[in-house]
Amino acid sequence: MSRRISPVIPGFGLTLGYTLVYLSLIVLIPLAAMFVHAAQLTWDQFWVIISAPRVWAALKLSFSTALYAALINGVIGTLLAWVLVRYTFPGRKIIDAMIDLPFALPTAVAGIALTALYAPNGLVGQFAADMGFKIAYTPLGITLALTFVTLPFVVRTVQPVLADIPREIEEAAACLGAKPLQVFRYILVPALLPAWLTGFALAFARGVGEYGSVIFIAGNMPMKTEILPLLIMVKLDQYDYTGATSIGVLMLVVSFVLLLLINLLQRRIEHP
């Protein structure tokens, strides 16, 4: 006589149905509506919109600066997580709490603060101007703003994994003659890499779609410092809903492909 195994979560059918409905209303239906609206165009019309030099310049700027910011945070965020986990020092809890500040701070406020700081007449920007280069109103300023808003993603994904790695493993490797670089390469990297890729993907995805913290420090010059989300807003302000939808579809497809490749790489690393 077989016994029926009860589900782990009571009311699995109800909770699954609620999850699917919620996901559909919040994510799937809006995205599908965007594709349906863009499908009203012929392929030639769609290609004319997305192949415009201004669109490609904004696309290149948005994805390149998001990539640079994610890579910078991949290094800095890992170092911050290491310091917070491996060392005890005065003010550690305050620094740990400040990591989440970009989550709580409105992005527009962050953009205004960064612009005031790095503008040519700002506290830091004036020194850069004296040395012959600008920070604000350049791709460098955009990368800086994206680095600020995406830092917590890497730290908060790497930090718990690093905390779960016993120090005894590193000490045992050192006792067996492993050098610090070998300990890092053969012990820490394999354990941290999946979490690092997750944080990198989250930071990259957030950077691609970031708007509030960038529009102030970017300068918004077409073909130079105009990001793709701003170009979509320009199209909407001009009541060009078809153009805005087409650019949104392009942005969504490129983001999906890049994130899919990152997830496949992460799965390959976890299950070689």
- pLDDT tens track for 62-97: 999 999 999 999 999 999 999 998 888 898 899 998
108/170: higher pLDDT: 108
pTM for the whole thing?
0.86
Q: What is the CATH number of domain 42-270?
A: 1.10.3720.10
| Amino acid at the residue 164 | D
Span 2-17, mean pLDDT?
A: 65
Q: Write out pLDDT tens, residues 190-226.
A: 888 888 988 998 899 889 988 888 988 988 888 999 9
| pLDDT, averaged across the chain | 87
CA triplet 149, 62, 267: central angle to 5 degrees?
A: 75
The full set of domain ranges for the chain reads 12-41, 42-270
Span 250-267, mean pLDDT?
A: 84
Helix, strand, coil shares of the chain as percentages rounded to 5?
A: 75, 0, 25
Q: What is the predicted pLDDT for the residue at 7?
A: 57
Q: What is the predicted pLDDT for the residue at 172?
A: 83
- 111/217 Cα distance (integer angstroms): 6
Write the Ramachandran bin of 177: left for phi over 0, alpha for psi from -120 to 50, otherwise beta: left
